[in-house]
Amino acid sequence: MKRSKKRIEPRKIYVKTKYRNIEKILAISSGKGGVGKSTISGFFSMYLAQKGYKVGLLDLDLYGPSCHLVLGANIKEYPKEEKGVVPPVAQGVYFMSSVFYTENRPLVVRGSGLNDAAIELLTITNWPDLDYLIIDMPPGLGDILLDVSELLPARFVVITNQSRISMESVNKLISYIKDQNLPFLGIVENMKMIEDNFIEMESKTQGIFYLGKVDFYPDIEKYYGNKREFSNSKLYEDISKIWEKLNGKI
């Protein structure tokens, strides 16, 4: 009889095989904080759901989860269990977030704990057959970025503001994506306030696809959890234009 007695942690292996078949995983990322990753992730998911796609949204920003606000999801109720946990539906979007299990209290953990929690969520969530899985990434370049690039066949959509300070950090993420040869769909310019083409030019010189812009809407919060208002908004039009460009690439 042969035995192998090395302790094996099954979740990473499982996550790799489980998500291999979801072809369209979009990681909405930035490198820079506060540029609108969660806002775009949430509204983009709502947009796709309204177009009739089956969309999942996974909030992987475990230090500052916020997609539940954009979707207006009820976080008081536990997701139901069936062969894992079933993501509840908000605004037509299948939604999973750590907030269901933290009572919205702060999760103060070191990097390894962050990875463990993220991998747990990826393991236990029983997604339906999705057309798209949107992942709201945390700011910065670290633990979660590494997990997503190592475990999932995610394609990156990078969000920036039109400021040079924003682009300074965003460029670091872009270098990483290029260095690791990760699938890269392009860059979105969010909260655009002045007419200029700095980001567009910057994209050109770097050979990155410019996916378009979302203007700054001071009243954007009125669209949170409100698909009717959202679908009649200029914000919706901006997102729809981005979608047209993106769709050509995927």
Asked if 11 interacts with another protein (CB under 8 A), we say yes
Binding mask 121-140 for ligand ATP (x = CB under 6 A): ------------------x-
Binding mask 156-185 for ligand ATP (x = CB under 6 A): ------------------------------
Closest alpha carbon to 187 in 212, 205, 166: 212
HSE at residue 229, side-chain half, CA atoms within 13 A, is 10
Q: Which residue in the set 21, 52, 105, 194 belongs to the binding site for another protein (CB under 8 A)?
A: 105
Q: Which residue in the set 25, 71, 114, 135 belongs to the binding site for another protein (CB under 8 A)?
A: 114
Amino acid in the structure at residue 88:
P
- Given ligand ATP, Mg ion, another protein, none, residue 83, with its beta carbon under 5 to 8 Å by kind, binds another protein
Binding mask 185-214 for another protein (x = CB under 8 A): ------------------------------
137-169 burial: b if 16+ Cβ within 10 Å, else e:
bbbbbebbbebbbebbbbbbbbbbbbeeebbeb
Is residue 187 within 8 A of residue 178, CB to CB? The reply is no
Is residue 60 within 8 A of residue 118, CB to CB? The reply is yes
Lookup result for tokens 């729809």? 240
Q: Which residue in the set 33, 34, 64, 84 belongs to the binding site for another protein (CB under 8 A)?
A: 84
Instruction: Return residues touching Mg ion (CB under 5 A).
Output: 37-38, 61
